[in-house]
Amino acid sequence: MTATQMLAQHPPVSPPARELPEIRWTSPESTLWVATRGADFAGFVEFREGHYAVTNGIGAQLKHGATLGAAQALIGKPNSAASHPAALTGVSAAAAGLLVTVPGAGLTVPWMV
């Protein structure tokens, strides 16, 4: 049986929706705000060059916020890829097998079936 046939018989299953912990903010410096969700790093906001730059929990730059509140709200959006690493974990099918992605670890591993 080929990998494609096996994937057709057993398609990837989406993980169930889970409730994420509340985001908490700390400010270790006057121009830096760090977000955590539960025990996990969720991102940070930094005031530089006249705007609030937003970096998510996996290090990707998001768009800038005009105010601190607007920038912090970008971290809180579940679909912004800024939220809890567990919410981002997924499995996607590939023609030759599976690609298992663990975003919090920055790791994608090809898994041949």
**Does residue 6 belong to any structural domain of this protein?**
no
**Does residue 66 belong to any structural domain of this protein?**
yes
Q: Enumerate residues 6+ apart whose C-beta is below 8 A from 75.
A: 23, 35, 42, 43, 45, 54, 56, 57, 62, 82, 83
Structure tokens given for 22: 């509340």
Do the beta carbons of residue 89 and residue 101 sit within 8 Å? yes
**Does residue 2 belong to any structural domain of this protein?**
no
**Does residue 75 belong to any structural domain of this protein?**
yes
**Does residue 15 belong to any structural domain of this protein?**
no
Do the beta carbons of residue 70 and residue 59 sit within 8 Å? no
- Residue 44 domain boundaries: 23-83
**Does residue 18 belong to any structural domain of this protein?**
no
**Does residue 108 belong to any structural domain of this protein?**
no
Q: How many domains is the chain built from?
A: 1
**Does residue 102 belong to any structural domain of this protein?**
no
Q: Enumerate residues 6+ apart whose C-beta is below 8 A from 2.
A: none
pLDDT digits (tens, 9 = 90+) for 4-52: 666 666 666 666 667 888 999 999 999 999 999 999 999 999 999 999 9
- For 1-113, list the strands marked E by DSSP: 23-29, 32-37, 40-48, 51-56, 90-94, 97-102, 107-111
pLDDT digits (tens, 9 = 90+) for 90-108: 433 333 444 455 555 555 5
pTM, two decimals, is 0.55
Does the pLDDT at position 109 exceed 60?
A: no
DSSP classification of residue 25:
E
